[in-house]
Structure 1
Amino acid sequence: MNSYVDYTSPSVQFTYDLSDNILFQKDAQNSISELSIQQLNTLANVSLLEIRLSTANVIEPHYHQNATELVYCVTGAVTVSLINPFTSELRHFPITPGQVANVPQGWWHYLVATVDNTHLLTIFNAPIPEFILGSDVLRLTPSNILAHTYCLNENKIQDALSPIKKPVLIGPPKDCKQQPLQKPGIHVRLADTVAHHQPTPERSYAYTSGYPGFSFNPYQN
C-alpha cells in the first residue's frame, strides 16, 4: 500500500520514540514495541517490531499473512524456527549479533531467546504487520472441532487449553506453573542448513537468568 504523503503538511512525521508504543510487555525483560504507519506517517511500506527477551522466553508460534519478516539480532542470541510449507520441514536458525534470519510471508514460525538481554529488530515489508497467533488458533477453535478432526478426547483438549484466555505473544505466561527441568545449561543444536540432512554439532549456552539449573531445547516439537 503506497499512500500519498503531503510532505508540506504540519502533521508530517519523521521521527518516533518506540517506547511510546509498547505492543506487549510480559515483564521488565520481555517486551515488544511496534512501529508502523500508524505511528510514523512517512513510513509507507515498512514497519518493525523491537523485541526484548530473556532466556527461554518465546515469541509464540504465529504467521504474518501480509508480510515477510526479517529478524535482526542486535544483542544476545535467538533461534528462529519455521515450517517450510513447500517441504513440510521444521527448520531452526540460531542467530547472534549482526546476523539475520528471514521468514517468508505466511510461514508459521516462532523465536526462542537462548541468552538473557536478547534484543531484536524484526522488519516487515508492509505498513502494518498483521499476524495470526497460535494462542488465538487454539483458544478460538471449538474443542469439539479439534477433537473430531484429530480423533482426540474433547475433555482432555478442554483441560489442556483452558488456561489460554487471551493472546500470549511472549510465552510462557508470567503465571505459568510448570517446573523448570533440572539439568545444567541450555543445549541448542545448530540449524541444519546443509543439504542431505548431515549431522550438525551442538552449541551450549550458559544459563544466566532467574531459574538455576534450567535446561531448554527449542528444537523439541
Structure 2
Amino acid sequence: MNPNQDYTSVQPQFTFDLNKNPLFVKDQHNFINVMGVNQLNTLDNISLLDIYLSANNVIEPHYHQNAAELVYCIAGSAVVSILNPFTKQLMHFPITPGQVANVPQGWWHYEVATQNNTHLLAIFNAPTPEVILGSDLLKLTPANIMAHTYGMNETLWTQAVAPVRPNTFIGPPNPWQQVQPGNYGGGYEQ
C-alpha cells in the first residue's frame, strides 16, 4: 500500500476501463492505451501501456527516464530490442504469448511486431510512465548542433530528418512509402 495515499480524503478508484484512455492511435490495428495513477488513484507505483500492433509496426526507439519496463506478450509476437548502455551491445529478444522481456530504467529500446494482431502489455514501476522518444530527439535537437557535433552537412541532416514527426510512437507512418536510395539517406516519407 502506498503510505502517502489517504483513502479517506479522496474518492478512491478501484476500477478503470483502459479501452477508454488512448495514448496514441495510428489506425484501428495500431494503437496504445495508457493507465497510471492519474486514471486510477489507488495504484501504488505501477502503470501500464496496452499496445496493439500489426506486423512490422514499431514502437519507436525510446527510453523511460523514471521506470523499468516489463513487456508481456498477450497475443501475436514481437522482438524487443535493447541497447545495453554499459556494453554498447544491441540485444534482440523475441517474445510470444506468455513471455516477457525486461527493460531496465533508462535503457534505449524498441519493439517490432512480427505478426498481425500482436498485443503487448508494458508494465512500469512508476505511477506514470515517462518517455523520451527518438523522434523528439531527432526533431528537437537543432540541425546546426547535429552538423557541428558530428561533422555533417547541415542541409543533408535537415533533409534526412524532414519526414520524422515528433511523438511518432508507432511507425512507420501510415500510409508510408520508403524513400528511394540516394534521397537523403533512406528512411520513410509520407
Q: Considering the TM-score relative to the shorter chain, is it more than 0.5?
A: yes
- 1:116 aligns with 116
Residue identity in the other structure for 2:108: W
TM-score, L = length of structure 1: 0.78
- 2:83 aligns with 83
Q: Secondary structure at the match of 1:121?
A: strand
For 1:87-143, what per-residue CA distance to the aligned partner results, in whole angstroms no more than 9, with x for missing partners? Answer: 110000000000000000000000000000000100000000001000000000011
- 1:169 aligns with 169
Q: Quick one: structure 1 residues 130 and 10, their matched pair in 2 at CA, closer, same or farther if it must change by over 3 Å?
A: closer
Q: Distance in 2 between matches of 1:122 and 1:165?
A: 23
Alignment partner of 1:94 is 2:94: yes
Q: Distance in 2 between matches of 1:126 and 1:10?
A: 21
Residue identity in the other structure for 2:170: I
Q: Secondary structure at the match of 1:74?
A: strand
**What are the within-5 Å matches in structure 2 for residues 159-198 of structure 1?**
159-178=159-178
- 2:187 aligns with none
- 1:62 aligns with 62
For 1:52-102, what per-residue CA distance to the aligned partner results, in whole angstroms no more than 9, with x for missing partners? Answer: 000000000000000000000000000000100111100000000000000
The Cα shift of 1:175 comes to: 3.5
Q: Quick one: structure 1 residues 3 and 148, their matched pair in 2 at CA, closer, same or farther if it must change by over 3 Å?
A: farther
Q: Quick one: structure 1 residues 3 and 132, their matched pair in 2 at CA, closer, same or farther if it must change by over 3 Å?
A: farther
Q: Distance in 2 between matches of 1:101 and 1:165?
A: 28
Q: Secondary structure at the match of 1:112?
A: strand
Q: Distance in 2 between matches of 1:21 and 1:30?
A: 14
Residue identity in the other structure for 1:176: W
Residue identity in the other structure for 1:88: K
The Cα shift of 1:166 comes to: 2.5
Q: What is the aligned length?
A: 179
Give aligned-pair identity as a percent: 62
**What are the within-5 Å matches in structure 2 for residues 1-221 of structure 1?**
2=2, 4-9=4-9, 11-178=11-178
Q: Secondary structure at the match of 1:67?
A: coil
Q: Gapped runs of 5+ residues in structure 1?
A: 180-221
- 1:206 aligns with none
Detail structure 1 runs of 4+ shifted over 6 Å in the superposition. Answer: none
For 1:154-213, what per-residue CA distance to the aligned partner results, in whole angstroms no more than 9, with x for missing partners? Answer: 11111111122331000001132227xxxxxxxxxxxxxxxxxxxxxxxxxxxxxxxxxx
Root-mean-square deviation over aligned CA pairs: 1.5
Residue identity in the other structure for 1:83: L
Q: Distance in 1 between matches of 2:177 and 2:143?
A: 23
Q: Distance in 2 between matches of 1:61 and 1:129?
A: 15
Retained in 2: the 8 A contact 1:52–1:120?
Answer: yes
Q: Secondary structure at the match of 2:4?
A: coil
Q: Distance in 2 between matches of 1:174 and 1:23?
A: 17
Q: Distance in 2 between matches of 1:69 and 1:58?
A: 16
- 1:207 aligns with none
Q: Gapped runs of 5+ residues in structure 2?
A: 180-190
TM-score, L = length of structure 2: 0.90
The Cα shift of 1:150 comes to: 1.1
